[in-house]
Amino acid sequence: MPAQPGTLEEQIARQREALTDMLRVPLGRAAEACGRAWGDRVSLDVVLTEAFRTLPFGNFMYAMDTNGVQVSSNMSREGLIDEDFGRDRSYRPYMKEAVPAEGFLLSQAYISERAKRPSLTAIHVVRNPEGRVLGFVGVDFDLRDLPITRELLQQPAQWRQIKGDPSIRGTVFHQTRSDSIMDQQIDTVIGVVRELMVAHGIYHIILHFSSSRAVAWHIDDPYRYRLLDIDELTSPDSCLAYPRRPYPKNAEVRASQISPVLQNLKSLRFMDDMFYLRSGTLNIFNGVVGLTFSCDGSHYVPVNEFLSKGTDFWVSGGALGAAD
């Protein structure tokens, strides 16, 4: 399924709008029928049983008074559940939200008590024929069962900074970078990694400089990662273990940019004995470079922006302090 543009919030809002359009009318009809049967538990159960059939994706359906106490049985896919009569639902997340004036509420998602899965509840106000509020009718839904489109979120390529572990940041002035085996053979490592990415199908790699290892994903087997130790990273023969693949045409990162990105990672690794790069990530389809520094702060930077910044920007420009 193709990715859709927009922020996470916009994506969720679209899904909620689709669900609201699907549920508002049938739940409104159920609330109207409940208003006529209110006060008679047997009649109320009959009304809810009929209404539940119009909501095939619901898990449970029930009626509550204005205090959030259940005044009906639970309707479920397996039939009536009598023991929930009298259950106090006033403390549940959906009862703590304000019901809009039109009488319909689609709650925020929450973790269900029974199944412990992401769920949400649709609520409609129940009124008697004269318009007096009697209570509410509610339907619980398991998110995995709902027939919504769920377009794949496409995250915008923008610079993001994330703070790290405060305990590590607090001791950064008491540490000094030690040369790892990867540091000592960094030029060979860069040569091997560049070849794997340009000509042998590796599209995502994480270089762990301090521990002299890498984690890589191959375009032919994208669901499994491969752990490359320092022997593999320093041996050009490693390229023989991966099939030759043309550079993907739909990559956000140009093949000619991979070597400069790797050289920039090297520069950040050696830029300072106190503030230095611990790991670097490159994904040619995201078009983003991931950086984690000795202060444990992380940056996710679009490739073009990353290549435009020199080491002075990171050391004296305040970039590391901004993330931490």
- pLDDT, tens digit, 9 for 90 and up, residues 21-39: 888 999 999 999 999 999 9
In a domain, residue 152? The reply is no
In a domain, residue 185? The reply is yes
Q: How many domains does the chain have?
A: 2
Last residue of a domain, one of 90, 116, 145: 145
Six-digit token pair at 314? Answer: 């990171």
pLDDT tens per residue, range 276-298 = 899 999 999 999 999 988 876 78
Domain identity same for 23 and 168 = no
Last residue of a domain, one of 83, 112, 145: 145
Domain identity same for 185 and 115 = no
- Give the pLDDT score at 178: 85
Mean pLDDT of 179-203: 96
What pLDDT band is residue 314 in, cutting at 50, 70 and 90? confident
Domain identity same for 121 and 199 = no
Domain identity same for 126 and 230 = no
Domain identity same for 140 and 169 = no
In a domain, residue 101? The reply is yes
- Give the pLDDT score at 161: 62
Last residue of a domain, one of 116, 145, 174: 145
In a domain, residue 80? The reply is yes
Number of neighbours of residue 159 by Cβ within 10 angstroms: 12
Which range of residues forms the domain containing residue 205?
158-323
| Higher local confidence (pLDDT), 324 or 304 | 304
Report the mean per-residue pLDDT for the chain.
86
Domain identity same for 268 and 211 = yes
Position of tokens 């950064």? 172
In a domain, residue 49? The reply is yes
Domain identity same for 93 and 165 = no
In a domain, residue 303? The reply is yes
Helix (H, G, I), strand (E, B) or coil at 17: helix
Q: What pTM, to 2 d.p., does this model score?
A: 0.67
Domain identity same for 91 and 207 = no
Q: Are 216 and 228 in contact (CB under 8 A)?
A: yes
Percent of all residues in the chain with a pLDDT value above 70, rounded to a whole number:
85
Highest mean pLDDT among 48-62, 148-162, 225-239: 225-239
- Give the pLDDT score at 315: 67
Domain identity same for 137 and 163 = no
Per-residue pLDDT at 260 exceeds 80 = yes
In a domain, residue 150? The reply is no
Per-residue pLDDT at 40 exceeds 90 = yes
What pLDDT band is residue 324 in, cutting at 50, 70 and 90? very low
User: Phi/psi at 33 (nearest 5 deg)?
Assistant: -65, -35
- On the 0-12 / 13-18 / 19+ scale of CB atoms within 10 A, 239 is middle
Domain identity same for 58 and 200 = no
Domain identity same for 52 and 187 = no
- Give the pLDDT score at 294: 82
pLDDT tens per residue, range 72-116 = 999 998 888 899 899 999 999 999 988 887 899 999 989 988 888
Nearest to 137 by CA among 47, 22, 205: 47
- Give the pLDDT score at 14: 78
* CATH (domain of 78): 3.30.450.20
Question: What are the DSSP calls for 216-255, one per residue?
Answer: EEETTEEEEEEEE-HHHHT-GGGGGGS---PPPTT-SS-H
Domain identity same for 189 and 112 = no
Position of tokens 């995502």? 204
In a domain, residue 151? The reply is no
- On the 0-12 / 13-18 / 19+ scale of CB atoms within 10 A, 209 is buried
